[in-house]
Homo-oligomer: A and B are copies of this chain.
Amino acid sequence: MVTLRSLQPMVRPGDVYHDSQRVAIIDMGTNSWRVIVVEYVPGLSFKLIDEVQESVRIGEGMAELNVLRPAAMDRAARAAQIFAAFCAASGISDIVAVGTSAIRDAQNQARFLQRIERESGLKVRVLSGEEEAYYGYLAAVNSTTIENGFVMDLGGGSLQIIRVEDRKAVRSISFPLGVVRLTEGFLTSDPVTAKETGALADVLRERLKSLDWFAYEDGMQLIGEGGNVRLVARLQQKRVEYPLDIIHGYEMQSKEVAEIGDVLARATVAQRRRIDGMKPERADISLAGALVLQGVMRAGGFERVVFSGQGVREGLFYERFFAGDEPDHPPIFADVRQSNVLNLGHVYRFQEVHARHITHLTTRMFDQLPPDVHNLRPQEREVLWAASMLHDIGMAIDYNDHHRHGSYLVLNSGLPGYTHREIALIALLIRYHRRGKPSLDDMAALCEPKDDRRLEQMTAMLRLAEQIDRARDGAVKDLRLTVTGGRCIMELVTQGDEQVPLWAVERHRDLFTGAFGLPVEFVPVPA
């Protein structure tokens, strides 16, 4: 297993990562073609820096003869030229171009690939169904906390299902049941008829029935990938006025998926375009996406699906990202949460030494406060950890209001690996780490009962830790916390000048006292 290496010594804002590289990944899908450009330091941090997309529909009209049609190939050749010219103009020489379902299955594949190479210079690697499934799995296992369960990846041409056990892909399959194919093959009326949607559901059920390894067991998760699957989540979020603008990590119940399917089935394509959240270029294929998701959940006996914002492109990237690591180890983060927190820190050039020191101080408080004094559970410790590591990233935007900016950055990143409730709490902890009365605000809908109290207690810890290291010099090395006689004694184990810490904590003791119902006394102790 590969772990994220940590940068030592400390990287200060403004320092440079000297060994950053750029790779362009070109995904020639059945519906849309896309280039993503990622800047990365192998094993350390990565960041999307450009993206170009073209709705090529290379698979259009393939159903009958299984050959790519001339008009579709012309569009594809033009897109390949543009993409290659874009990479050349951007000075990117490391290009990974892959073709998936439509190209894989086309009888005229060889001639098509020759034309692409001749006209654009791009050498296309055609992924087998198994390989496509593998990269979808890599994306899921590196961006979610799935241990056991299934990944489904739905494209324009094919549907992949991967079984995951202990974070390993143990079985996978690819069906030619992508949304462009299914729409062309089954959903030809506008609006569709019940007979058409029924026929699609029948085919799906028949094909999935054959998989004896695809069935829900206790503790299993289902991860849904692909733009057509994400669109279902997007429509649902608009429908319920969801407070976060993040798809990755969003969860839906099978009943809700069915409702979205019903809404889409009753509408004409023109009407679907006007639905809040619809991607106009996907309006025609959106119903097939909802129906396949519904069919897969039903066939596997899944009540819930968790959406992933990543997919085959990111899977290909992870392979590249970990390429320098030991050969026998799979390209997988040892700990998805930690890795994504560190990546966010590096992208915003956090002061890692200070961040880690604050994290040490808050987790010490968490561990040393008696359980009857706080009502925080082990899962909250990971929330406090992440917020402590990231509390200052807003300084990348501006020192003034950096607590607000940090919250903005966390909500924007979506912090893969954490649930939306946890992301909300992390953002709120950062929001209130300097001042203000902690409140769940408009995130309340995502939270559990008592989370307001948990937020208050964790904020008290983080705010006090930040004051203890107010000068960011680590003068207070450690702390020892004892609760005795209805008061909390906090020994500050100090090496160096204790004036700033003692001055700073005095001004913020009230929140701590209020959160735990204990007066707190600070006692400096030489290290």
Contact = CB atoms under 8 A, between A and B. Distances in A.
Nearest to A39: B14
Nearest to A349: B14
B47 A471 contact: no
A472 B17 contact: no
B16 A14 contact: yes
B397 A412 contact: yes
A50 interface: yes
Given A497-B88, A500-B82, A405 B412 contact: yes
A210 interface: no
A107 interface: no
Secondary structure call for the A interface: mixed
A249 to B, nearest CB: 16
Given A81-B499, A82-B499, A82-B503, A413 B398 contact: yes
A138 interface: no
Contacts of A13: 49
Contacts of A16: 14-16
B395 A471 contact: no
Interface string A472-503: 11010000000000000000000011011001
Contacts of A472: 89-90
A13 B81 CA distance: 27
A401 B414 CA distance: 13
A471 B86 contact: yes
Nearest to A17: B14
A4 to B, nearest CB: 19
B398 A85 contact: no
Interface string A377-406: 000000000000000000111111100010
Contacts of A85: 471, 497, 499-500
A2 interface: no
Given A15-B16, A16-B16, A89 B397 contact: no
Sort A-B residue pairs by CB-CB distance and give the 7 closest, nearest first.
A89-B471, A89-B473, A16-B16, A85-B499, A48-B399, A82-B503, A85-B500
